[in-house]
Amino acid sequence: MTLPTEQYSCIHRVCVCVQSCHATKPGMLNVHLVPHTHDDVGWLKTVDQYFYGDRNDIQHAGVQYILDSVVDQLWKNPDRRFIYVETAFFYHWWKSQSSSMQQTVKQLVNEGRLEFVNGGWCMSDEAATHYSAVIDQMTIGLRFLNETFGACGRPRVAWHIDPFGHAREHASMFAQMGFDGFFFGRLDYQDRARRMRNKEQELLWRASDSLTPPMADLFTGMQSFFLHPFMLMTSGLSNRTVSHYFLTACPR
């Protein structure tokens, strides 16, 4: 694969990561479709059952096949983008890949076509977990991404689309970890409806009364829905059919 020098370059084997967003059109409403994973690190099945696709009589899910398909489709079309969330599953998949496949994934990451968000081992609960456990699991995931991909693998956005409720202490920790933004999906339906009416789904969350701003300030966005129907309808796609449903950017 030959890439334009302004998009990707390696000097003395040090690769430079790039910003790969497609150009927008002035005067137009530019809509960004963000294909992403939402793979529970243990819920109705065990972690291994989710990863290998075992016990599909309980829930149809096999995370290893998602990663296989995504990498294949990203490689086939440079216009495609994908964000991956759950480092626990990615680590499991990564360790079983050949050195050739690992180099392919590193190139996708360096090009900005595969991006990690959140970066923790999982998407932690915000109510029942102690802050030390949250910091530990974030450290494990972020350390792996840093050691594997360097600066290009560093997540810039915290991503909590599934935890039931959101605490300012989590937002404070994410801000202090250096995230540029925080996006979540679950909030009270009445609060969501009010914010949608008033166009207040984005805010600067001042997440601490004691820390001097902007130390704990974090741009925060709330999704209009928890999971898009598209994602629900197409879960469990095979490699053969995923290309038909894969969300792609508009042609240049």
pLDDT at 1: 32
Residue 212 counted as domain residue: yes
Domain count, the chain: 1
Residue 50's domain is classified under what CATH number?
3.20.110.10
Pick the catalytic residue from 57, 162, 188, 209.
162
pLDDT at 139: 97
Containing H/E element for 70? helix 63-76
Residue 251 counted as domain residue: no
pLDDT at 19: 66
Which whole-number Å values give the CA distances from 118 to 37, 159, 170, in the listed order?
12, 5, 12
pLDDT of the chain, 252 residues: tens digit per residue: 333 333 434 443 445 666 667 788 899 988 877 788 888 999 999 999 999 999 999 999 999 999 999 999 999 999 999 999 999 999 999 999 999 999 999 999 999 999 999 999 999 999 899 999 999 999 999 999 999 999 999 999 999 988 888 999 999 999 999 999 999 988 888 998 999 999 999 999 999 999 999 999 999 999 876 555 455 444 454 445 444 444 443 333
Q: Which tens digit of pLDDT belongs to each residue from 201-227?
A: 999 999 999 999 999 999 999 987 655
Residue 250 counted as domain residue: no
Residue 186 counted as domain residue: yes
d(CA 157, CA 164): 19
Query: Which amino acid, residue 156?
Result: R
Q: Tell me the three state secondary structure of residue 68.
A: helix
Residue 17 counted as domain residue: no
d(CA 156, CA 13): 24
Give the chain's largest Cα–Cα span: 55
29 Cβ contact list (under 8 Å, min separation 6): none
d(CA 127, CA 29): 37
Residue 76 counted as domain residue: yes
Q: Tell me the three state secondary structure of residue 159.
A: strand
Say whether 217 is catalytic: no
Domain with 220, as residue range(s), is 32-245
pLDDT at 16: 61
Q: Name the region of 194 (left: φ>0; alpha: ψ -120 to 50; beta: rest).
A: alpha
Q: Which tens digit of pLDDT belongs to each residue from 68-94?
A: 999 999 999 999 999 999 999 999 999
